Amino acid sequence: MTLLTIDDVEQYLETLLDTFPPALFEELNGGVTLEEATRDDPEFPAGEVYIMGEYIVDYLGNSIVLYYGSMVEIAKKEQWDLADWQKELKDTFSHELTHHMEWRSGTKALDVKDALELEAMRQAFQEEQV
């Protein structure tokens, strides 16, 4: 298992962001931030499901937030190596950027997909508890 520091992740994230066309960041006026926080999904018991990233639209603007602490918890559970960290960061950022692109275009296909996946996770969790 490889446990990256928040500085390592921030450095990789900066490199990753440079690989995306600048036009995709238009109207992302809150930017992309990496927070040290761990975000439990409130629909599950603490420590069961973590939120790795969010696309936020609020009175401050549009932003993408990635949660380093959540990634650390999942990395520990799944024994991530460096390639896993890089893949998860890229996948999580790309997922949140897709939410931004859909917001810009007025569509919600990824929101619908996320809701269906979350419902499947809830059902699977409930079945495990029986």
> pLDDT at position 125, please?
87
Amino acid (one-letter) located at 130: V
Mean pLDDT of the chain: 96
pLDDT-derived band at 16, boundaries 50, 70, 90: very high
1 belongs to a structural domain: no
Q: What was the pLDDT predicted at 129?
A: 82
pLDDT single digits (tens) 34-82: 999 999 999 899 999 999 999 999 999 999 999 999 999 999 999 999 9
**Following DSSP, what letter does each residue of 38-97 receive, concatenated?**
-EE-TTS-TTT-EE-EEEEEETTEEEEEEEHHHHHHHHHHHT--HHHHHHHHHHHHHHHH
Residues 104-123 have pLDDT tens digits of 999 999 999 999 999 999 89
* Number of domains observed in the structure of the chain: 1
Q: Is residue 24 part of a domain?
A: yes
Q: For the domain that residue 114 is a member of, what is the CATH number?
A: 3.30.2010.20
pTM of the model: 0.94
Q: Could you list the residue range(s) of the whole structural domain that residue 57 is in? A: 6-129
